Amino acid sequence: MDSLKDELNEDSYYIDLITRLRKERNAVILAHNYQRGEVQDIADYVGDSLGLSQQAAKTDADIIVFCGVFFMAETAAILSPQKTVIIPDPRAGCPMADMITAEDLRQKKQEHPEATVVCYVNSSADVKAESDICCTSTNAIQVVESLKDAKEILFVPDEHLGRFVASRTKADILFWPGFCPTHLRVTPEDIIKAREEHPNAKCIVHPECSIEVIMLADEALSTGGIIKYVGKSDAGEIIIGTELGLAYRLQKDHPHKRFYLATQKLVCPNMKLTTLEKVAAALENIQHVVKVPENIRVRAKLALDRMMEI
Ligand code: 13P
Ligand code: SF4
């Protein structure tokens, strides 16, 4: 097997293996927009957190290979309990999701018994189970606006997405001090410099960036929102304030447009852990199955279902 691998270009060896195994196993490969280019290229669906959850909920494949970070695969396991969900590298976590535990949230709820808990999907199943409703960066504003009767809202774990939502709604929001280390690497100075270097470019950032960065951009959108924006916009040059993997997708879809990363530091190391070799190994051995205990899954699914209804 190794000699064949050596003879062929390594990527094509794994692509052939994945193509064969996905058919044999009746598997679907879902990939987030931040995945490596070669992983995006072999996926059946590439999208943002909301799109991936929707795909996971409706697929009729037996196996979901989730190329993303752990909370995303866990969300697929919550929504599709009858499927086998596998993650090619189980070390691919999201530091933001680890910034709050279910116990932390229970304590905070005791301090604010009247608060409605809105939980960003970048969180563990345990935390979702303690929450009233989930949101993604695509629908966070609509989710908060839907809670017309809420006296106050406790938004966890991303303080920055929470502040962005607060700036666009009239809701009274309490924040949790969580953050994305990758998106906080973009500074206001980076945006000012990029705009000086590319004066004709539009600038679109992710709402996990700081509010100071968002205020200097033309818009803050989820990765799926950025893809739609670029598809509709006449702009030929766009400064991107989100993870590098999205620029791969945008450049592939729009070869005549120019994309500039706001800073070269926009790399999520966890998203880059997934490789073609690990996807092939996960499929071959059906390894790294993601499971959620049923009592947690049922409660977490309620919070996700409320979001999906919006
Ligand atoms: P999107 O839902 O916008 O793809 O964001 C996911 C994420 O983890 C951003 O850091
Ligand atoms: Fe988590 Fe940030 Fe990576 Fe998204 S980019 S998975 S929020 S660490």
Point out the ligand nearest to the CA of residue 267. 2
For residue 157, the CA-to-ligand 2 centroid distance in Å is: 12
Looking at residue 9, its pLDDT comes to: 82
All structural domains of the chain, each given as residue ranges with its CATH number in brackets, are 2-94+271-291 (3.40.50.10800), 97-179 (3.40.50.10800), 183-261 (3.40.50.10800)
For residue 47, the CA-to-ligand 1 centroid distance in Å is: 9
| Greater pLDDT, 4 or 248 | 248
Report how far apart, in Å, the C-alpha atoms of 88 and of each of 33, 95, 268, 275 are: 16, 18, 16, 8
Question: Which ligand 1 atom is at minimum distance from the Cα of 222?
Answer: 3
Going by pLDDT thresholds of 50, 70 and 90, the confidence category of residue 10 is confident
Ligand 2 pocket member 186 (CB < 6 A): no
Point out the ligand nearest to the CA of residue 121. 1
Ligand 2 pocket member 122 (CB < 6 A): yes
Query: What is the rounded average pLDDT for all residues in the chain?
Result: 96
For residue 231, the CA-to-ligand 2 centroid distance in Å is: 24
Looking at residue 269, its pLDDT comes to: 98
Could you report the per-residue pLDDT of 73-113, keeping only the tens digit for each? 999 999 999 999 999 999 999 999 999 999 999 999 999 99
**Tokens 């999520």 map to which residue?**
268
Going by pLDDT thresholds of 50, 70 and 90, the confidence category of residue 221 is very high
Q: What is the pTM of this model?
A: 0.95
Could you report the per-residue pLDDT of 154-181, keeping only the tens digit for each? 999 999 999 999 999 999 999 999 999 9
Report how far apart, in Å, the C-alpha atoms of 188 and of each of 197, 217, 225 are: 14, 9, 22
